[in-house]
Amino acid sequence: MRYAILADIHSNLAAFQAVLAAIEAEGGFDEIWCLGDVVGYGPEPHACIELLRDYKHVCVAGNHDWAAVGNIDVSDFNPDAARACRWTAQQLNAQDIDYLLNLPEKLVLGDFTLVHGSPRYPIWEYLLSASDACDNFGYFDTNFCLVGHSHVSSVFVQDKFGNCFNVGTADEIKLASQGNRLIINPGGIGQPRDGDARASYMIYDSNAQMMYHYRVHYDITTTQKKMAEYKLPSFLIRRLSYGY
Ligand code: ZN
């Protein structure tokens, strides 16, 4: 089975479509594992939810998903994110709201735990450094944990002696290796933040027990034009060009 590991779509339909097309061109997938923040920031929240729901998929809740439906407070958001969040809330229909409200905080699928932020604090915590990640290996029972939220592709390893380190990102990740446990972030689709503007995602091949990391170009200006049309914050529009 091939699983598309997708995080932080963030209402960026052009990026989401480009990722799906790229995966189709490379042999397709059986199911999407979505790591939250389907909405927020970008111009097409409803269309992104609808497109995701066209596919066999599972999805966990992100902070933007729950903020858009009032399940958590936007007071912790920066002003641009809060403004985009309030705009997002107005674009959702009753089914969208119901869908987002019912997303779980955490899913356990075989050897994988799926959360948006971290296993310790699934909605809010960012895993950016080895020290953040090290503490978190104690908060899930499976060998592997998939996270999003930082919009930066990364791999954290805990070896069989309990040592923990950040191996950065990798094009290919061998899952069953020397008793290592892994926390893996596929990077963000709709608003990458690692200095590369291309959408970032991974494929999990369960037969090979491998994860593969990909970047794909999408038409950034299409998304930016729509954001400008809806008067979304200019910083959120500009940052897409640079991937920060
Ligand atoms: Zn996000």
Condensed to tens digits (0 to 9), the pLDDT of residues 204-218 reads 999 999 999 999 999
pLDDT digits (tens, 9 = 90+) for 71-106: 999 888 999 999 999 999 999 999 999 999 999 999
Q: How far is the CA of 138 from the centre of ligand 1 (A)?
A: 24
Q: How far is the CA of 151 from the centre of ligand 1 (A)?
A: 6
Q: How far is the CA of 160 from the centre of ligand 1 (A)?
A: 31
pTM for the predicted model, two decimal places: 0.96
Residue 169 banded pLDDT, cuts 50, 70, 90? confident
Q: How far is the CA of 5 from the centre of ligand 1 (A)?
A: 14
Q: How far is the CA of 30 from the centre of ligand 1 (A)?
A: 24
Q: How far is the CA of 199 from the centre of ligand 1 (A)?
A: 13
pLDDT digits (tens, 9 = 90+) for 101-147: 999 999 999 999 999 999 999 999 999 999 889 999 999 999 999 99
**Number of folded domains in the chain?**
1
**For residue 62, is it left (φ>0), alpha (ψ between -120 and 50) or beta?**
beta
Cross-strand partners of 117 = none
* Stretch (H or E) spanning 239: helix 234-242
| Residue 184: CATH number of its domain | 3.60.21.10
Does the pLDDT at position 226 exceed 90? yes
> How confident is the prediction for the chain on average, in pLDDT?
96
Q: How far is the CA of 27 from the centre of ligand 1 (A)?
A: 27
pLDDT at res. 176: 80
Q: How far is the CA of 10 from the centre of ligand 1 (A)?
A: 7
Give the closest residue to 35 by CA, choosing from 12, 52, 15, 23. 52
Tokens 């899930």 found at: 140
User: Which residue range(s) make up the domain with 238?
Assistant: 2-242
Q: How far is the CA of 62 from the centre of ligand 1 (A)?
A: 7
pLDDT at res. 16: 98
Q: How far is the CA of 149 from the centre of ligand 1 (A)?
A: 4
Q: How far is the CA of 114 from the centre of ligand 1 (A)?
A: 15
- The 10 Å CB-count burial string (b at 16+, else e) for 45-58 is bbebbebbeeeeee
122 and 105 Cβ atoms separated by less than 8 Å? yes
Alpha-carbon span 35 to 63, nearest angstrom: 11
Q: How far is the CA of 191 from the centre of ligand 1 (A)?
A: 8
- Residue 32: both structure tokens together: 């999407």
